[in-house]
Amino acid sequence: MKVTVIPNGPLLIETVGEWQYSGEASSHKANDRVAFCRCGASAIKPFCDGAHKKSGFAAPGGVCELTPK
């Protein structure tokens, strides 16, 4: 699994294969990637809806590759 912290944007999770989010906010499916809001401005939390672009959210980015042991 690859986790990318988008500069001034969401937390992007890339997986291998389909996944399903089981939190209270909504049922959400995707094939291999999903973006979680970091700015707090999204109308579809915990997911990013692009609102960070208008909110002026500023934060550094980075990348983390997670592999099972």
> Which residues lie near ligand FES (CB under 6 A)?
9-10, 37-39, 41-42, 48-52
Positive or negative, the CA dihedral 8, 40, 49, 33 is positive
Q: Which residues contact residue 49 at a Cβ distance below 8 angstroms, ignoring those fewer than 6 apart?
A: 37, 42, 43
For ligand FES, the closer of residues 34 and 39 by Cβ is 39
For ligand FES, the closer of residues 25 and 68 by Cβ is 25
Q: In angstroms, what is the minimal distance from the CB of 22 to ligand FES?
A: 21
Fill in the amino acid letter for 33. R
For ligand FES, the closer of residues 1 and 61 by Cβ is 61
